[in-house]
């Protein structure tokens, strides 16, 4: 029988009883998380809670969640309507655990966020979970990041995007996706009207033809719901960027474009510069780890100085830019009051670049939380030091003891909020 949210839930008690009933030993880590959840007053409110049972990043090692542990946990949570989020990242769940989770997703109608990042779920596990998502009508955000589901596993999720109208954010980064499933996902997104963010980082592509980028570009021409798109490590070159830019002239919904860690040069950035002169929807552009050099930085600064008044954040970390290009970008910030976040570490700073960015920060034009450099002086000369700030510095893990404000380390979450369960 479903529990009423005004009654204190006793998750820990139910877990102990379920372990005894099934003969499964208690996992002390799971037991501790449930004990803490029982004390959480937010259980009483309608917002609900997220159970954080991630196996990484603890002061002392914890007993990671196994398939058997998940079986007991799922039986406890089956009717716990106040549990809206479940973070099981960095555990040792396999396809057997995926089977348990698939059954849970079919029976549960309250879970909105599920994080299975970096477990050991494979292709058959992906088939089971995606099968459940065809029928599930509550899950809003799913993270499969780092589970090696492969091309066939990606095909199962492409199929989900054809029928599921609830899912808003899907992370399939580092999942060893292949050419065929990327094309299938792009095709599904031409019809899907509910998905607002997708992460397709680091697929395994063996072709130099950039077919996947061409299909994604074609999808962007017709898709009016996608807000956030991650295409990091796609071996994308200038041809692919040109195709994307052509498509984005016809797209007015995409706000966050991640092209980091590709093979884009200044010639490719020229197309982006031309796009930025006319585009009125992009808010975040991530070009981190592309060889755009001074010429590319100049193309961007020209567009941002005079024409564009919508882009708020630009990352050009480790882009082989020297003093000339960095100074041009600092001048763009002086001229453009909308561009408020810029990340530049990993380039070659000369005295002029150090002076320019030091002045921007000291005069208050650039908030120290909105860039990844901090000014200091040595023998009267301006220098810049690195800060742990960025668009998504804490994508894979977040420090337990926060030194940097969340809004500074993960600026993208505040700028482009897709859903409550990010």
Q: Tens digit of pLDDT per residue, the chain (422 long)? A: 344 443 457 999 999 999 999 999 999 999 999 999 998 876 666 678 999 999 998 888 999 999 999 999 999 999 899 999 999 999 999 999 999 999 999 999 999 999 999 999 999 999 999 999 999 999 999 999 999 999 999 999 999 999 999 999 999 999 999 999 999 999 999 999 999 999 999 999 998 899 999 999 999 999 999 999 999 999 999 999 999 999 999 999 999 999 999 999 999 999 999 999 999 999 999 999 999 999 999 999 999 999 999 999 999 999 999 999 999 999 999 999 999 999 999 999 999 999 999 999 999 999 999 999 999 999 999 999 999 999 999 999 888 777 888 899 999 998 987 654 43
Is 403 inside any structural domain?
Answer: no
Is 140 inside any structural domain?
Answer: no
Coil, helix or strand at residue 377: strand
Is 215 inside any structural domain?
Answer: no
Is 27 inside any structural domain?
Answer: yes
Is 399 inside any structural domain?
Answer: no
* Distance (Å, whole) CA 381 – CA 350: 11
Domain boundary among 65, 92, 119: 92
**What tokens appear for 20 in the block?**
């005894």
Domain boundary among 92, 111, 126: 92
pLDDT at 6: 39
Structural domain harbouring 352: 283-389
Angle CA 388–394–420, to nearest 5: 125
> Are 422 and 401 within 8 A, CB to CB?
no
> Are 284 and 254 within 8 A, CB to CB?
no
Instruction: State pTM to two decimals.
Output: 0.95
Is 402 inside any structural domain?
Answer: no
- The residues near 252 (Cβ < 8 Å, ≥ 6 apart) are 224, 280, 281
**Exposure class string for 263-293: b at 16+ Cβ within 10 A, else e:** ebbbbbbbbbbbbbeebeebbbbbbbbbbbb
Domain boundary among 92, 116, 144: 92
| Structural domain count of the chain | 2
Is 49 inside any structural domain?
Answer: yes
pLDDT at 417: 75
pLDDT at 7: 43
Is 278 inside any structural domain?
Answer: no
Residue for token pair 């990042």: 117
Burial (CB < 10 A; 0-12, 13-18, 19+), residue 343, is: buried
pLDDT at 399: 82
pLDDT at 44: 60
């Amino acid at each position: 029988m479903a529990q009423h949210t005004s009654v204190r839930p006793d998750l820990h008690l139910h877990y102990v009883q379920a372990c005894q009933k099934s003969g499964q030993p208690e996992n002390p880590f799971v037991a501790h998380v449930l004990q803490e959840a029982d004390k959480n007053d937010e259980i009483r409110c309608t917002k609900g809670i997220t159970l954080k049972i991630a196996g990484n990043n603890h002061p002392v090692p914890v007993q990671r969640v196994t398939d058997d542990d998940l079986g007991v946990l799922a039986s406890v949570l089956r009717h716990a309507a106040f549990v809206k989020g479940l973070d099981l990242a960095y555990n040792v769940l396999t396809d057997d655990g995926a089977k348990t989770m698939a059954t849970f997703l079919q029976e549960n109608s309250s879970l909105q966020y599920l994080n299975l990042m970096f477990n050991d779920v494979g292709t058959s596990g992906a088939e089971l979970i995606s099968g459940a998502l065809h029928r599930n009508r509550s899950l809003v955000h799913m993270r499969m990041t780092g589970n090696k589901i492969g091309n066939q596993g990606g095909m199962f999720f492409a199929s989900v995007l054809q029928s599921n109208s609830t899912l808003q954010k899907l992370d399939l980064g580092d999942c060893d996706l292949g050419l065929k499933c990327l094309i299938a996902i792009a095709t599904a997104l031409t019809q899907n009207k509910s998905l607002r963010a997708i992460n397709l980082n680091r697929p395994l592509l063996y072709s130099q033809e950039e077919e996947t980028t061409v299909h994604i570009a074609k999808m962007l021409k017709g898709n009016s719901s996608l807000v956030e798109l991650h295409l990091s490590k796609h071996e994308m070159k200038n041809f692919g960027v040109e195709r994307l830019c052509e498509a984005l002239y016809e797209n007015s919904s995409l706000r966050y474009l991640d092209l980091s860690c590709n093979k884009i040069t200044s010639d490719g950035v020229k197309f982006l510069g031309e796009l930025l002169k006319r585009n009125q929807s992009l808010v975040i552009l991530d070009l981190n780890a592309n060889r755009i050099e001074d010429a590319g930085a100049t193309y961007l600064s020209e567009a941002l100085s005079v024409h564009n008044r919508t882009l708020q954040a630009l990352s050009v970390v480790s882009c082989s830019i020297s003093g000339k290009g960095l100074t041009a970008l600092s001048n763009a910030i002086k001229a453009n009051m909308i561009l408020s976040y810029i990340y530049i570490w990993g380039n070659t700073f000369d005295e002029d670049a150090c002076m320019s960015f030091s002045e921007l920060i000291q005069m208050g034009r650039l908030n120290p939380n909105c860039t990844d450099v901090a000014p200091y002086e040595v023998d009267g000369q301006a220098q810049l030091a690195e800060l742990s700030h960025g668009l998504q510095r804490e994508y894979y893990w977040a420090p337990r003891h926060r030194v940097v404000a969340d809004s500074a380390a993960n600026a993208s979450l505040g700028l482009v909020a897709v859903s409550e369960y990010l």
